[in-house]
Structure 1
Amino acid sequence: MPAAPEDRTPPEPGEAARFDALVAEADAVSVDGWDFSWLDGRATEERPSWGYARLVGERMGRARAALDIQTGGGEVLASVPKLPVPTVATESWPPNIARATALLHPRGAVVVADDDEPPLPFGDAAFDLVVSRHPVTTWWQEIARVLAPGGTYLSQQVGPASVFELVEYFLGPQPPEVRGARDPERARADAEAAGLDVVDLRAERLRTEFSDIGAVVYFLRKVIWMVPGFTVEQYRPRLAELHHELETGGPFVAHTTRFLIEARKPV
């Protein structure tokens, strides 16, 4: 929790002006797509050891028909060396749909606008590979339906209490049911309940650092479910407190949680 006002160190000369400049910059930049390169030099995040994009590339190289659910701006799919024909991607947010279309159409992939609610707009057993990076919700029954017998679902997902040091800085302590959501073992149980066999399940806790308040603002604007309804105006006093901590104490450290799940449909 923040120190009481009388206990806080007064801001250094120029600190308020730097705060205003950093916040204004981060509040104005586009947050379309799922490319975080704007944070280069301003924030760092350890990457999971399994290398999701590499695994997707390997699976795509062997697939006959593939689906990428909630593709974002299509960045991961565009990095795959060889895409099967057909390859289809779904996305719900209009700016991302446009970005993914521009990125993936030259690769021969089709982008379908979809509300991320069941049913998926595809027939039964349409794909032998379904992938998804950081889905908001995983509709396991639908995944099982569109997978061909013997087909594979491969997904990297956000785990429980991911970056909650930052979430709770703004929202305060979260209840156990919120902190415990997105449990990998729950994903396993849901996949198995849909009739899939889980063949791989791995989880990691990864160090994340934010070096300046602009990085925090950009992150919270882009990853909108972290602090729902986040705006600079609403959280300006708290942002100013965190800016002072960053200026005097160094980077803000949080921990990202990720898990990899791979499931197959029985033949």
Structure 2
Amino acid sequence: MKDDLLFQSYIEDAKQPFTGWDFSFVSDTGRLQTELLPWSYGSLVLPHVRASSAMLDMGTGGGEFLSKLQPFPQTVHATEGYAPNVPIARKRLEPLGVTVSEVQDDEQLPFEDDQFDLILNRHEAYSPSEIRRILKDGGTFITQQVGGDDCHQINDALGVPVNEEFTHWKWEQAVQDFQDIDMEVSFSQEAFPVQRFYDIGALVYYLKAIPWQVPGFEIDRYLDELYSIHQRIQEHGYFDVQQHRFILIATL
């Protein structure tokens, strides 16, 4: 393993810093590619943004996606729960008139009752009852979620169990949660697109950016398993895993 210079170079390359929610270091170079979803989150949310007067973007990351939805409604707020992303989001979004709040408790959002007519949520946790509280009558909640079966092949290859915190999270449960609080789910869909890693460095970079996939991930701790995946990639050309995504639109 130590004599495998290609493996060592990929591991060293993966030590690049990750900021915001930007995977371009591996995605723009084609080292990580993902099969297309049967829907476009951006295309679904854009007409709602244009018709909104007060919107909230939950889990904005570094504000990369939200910043591309301009022109904005009159009032725009964003939340982010990952502390290192907060200053990045504020630097990008506040000059655009967006108020960014750091939020740690999904059950207690820092907003008034009936404050928003549109709430966006892309891959962020949420409380259905809290969404209902801050949403105006007739308001819309749109979320794309990462399901509990996401990329479990990574865990299998590293010999670690899937993170139990998320295994329960299913499309059917999310739909039922909103129906239980008398919100109408007008659209929902589920998909399992393939995500392909073309080198071990791209996988390590991904795992460093998504710490909840393998909690406590460290390169040295999983060096043998990573080398086995590297050998698999050298033999087959890639390492495939299956994402788990679902989307729903709920209206109050």
Please indicate, yes or no, whether the TM-score normalized by the shorter chain is above 0.5: yes
Q: 2:172 aligns with which of 144, 163, 185?
A: 185
CA distance in 1, matches of 2:83, 2:167: 31
Tell me how far 1:20 sits from its aligned partner: 1.2
Q: 1:250 to 1:203 in 2, by over 3 A?
A: same
Q: Is the 8 A contact 2:106 2:130 kept in 1?
A: no
Partner of 2:71, secondary structure, is: coil
Q: Distance in 2 between matches of 1:197 and 1:143?
A: 13
TM-score, with length taken from structure 2 = 0.93
Q: Percent of aligned positions with the same letter in both sequences?
A: 33
**Counterpart residue number, 1:35:** 22
- Written as runs of structure 1 = structure 2, the 5 A alignment for 1:219-238 is 219-238=206-225
Measure how far apart 1:75 and its partner are. Answer: 1.2
> Counterpart amino acid of 1:39?
V
TM-fit CA distance, 1:184: 0.5
Name the SS for the 2:84 alignment partner. helix
How far off its partner does 1:180 sit? Answer: 5.1
Letter in 1 for 2:40: G
Deviation at 1:47, TM superposition (A): 2.8
Match of 1:85 in 2: 74
Q: Decide whether the 8 Å contact of 2:56 with 2:76 is kept in 1.
A: yes
1:164-175 maps to which residues of 2 (within 5 A)? 164-172=152-160
Which whole-Å CA distance do the structure 1 matches of 2:237 and 2:168 have between them?
30
Letter in 2 for 1:106: P
Question: CA contact under 8 A between 1:63 and 1:129: conserved in structure 2?
Answer: yes
Shift of 1:76: 1.3
Aligned-partner residue type, residue 149 of structure 1: D
Q: Partner amino acid for 2:211?
A: I
Alignment check: 8 A CA contact 1:171 1:227 kept:
no
- Structure 2 residue corresponding to 1:242, chosen from 229, 247, 252: 229
Root-mean-square deviation over aligned CA pairs? 1.9
Aligned-partner Cα distance in 1 for 2:21–2:114? 29
| Equivalent position to 1:214, from 167, 189, 201 | 201
Counterpart-to-counterpart distance in 2, 1:148 and 1:15 = 62
Which of 31, 52, 73 is 1:63 aligned to?
A: 52
5+ residue gaps, structure 1: 1-10
Paired position in structure 2 for 1:3? none
Residue equivalent to 1:50: 39
Aligned counterpart, 1:121: 110
**Which residue type is aligned with residue 194 of structure 1?**
I
Asked whether 1:144 is paired with 2:132, we answer: yes
Provide, for residues 209-229 of structure 1, a one-character-per-residue CA deviation record: whole Å limited to 9, x for no partner. 100000110111111111111
> Matched residues in 1 for 2:245 and 2:39: separation?
11
Task: Give, as a single letter, the amino acid of the residue that structure 2 aligns with 1:24.
Answer: E
Amino acid in the other structure paired with 1:212:
D
Specify every segment of 5 or more residues in structure 2 that has no aligned partner in the other structure, as ranges. Answer: none
Contact 1:53 1:79 in 2 (8 A): no
Q: How many pairs are equivalent? A: 250
1:178–1:69 Cα change, 3 Å:
closer
Structure-2 separation of matches of 1:92 and 1:180: 21
Structure with greater Cα Rg:
1
Could you tell which deviates more after superposition, 98-107 or 63-72? 98-107
Amino acid at match of 2:9: A
Structure 1 runs of 4+ with >3 Å offset: 171-175, 177-180
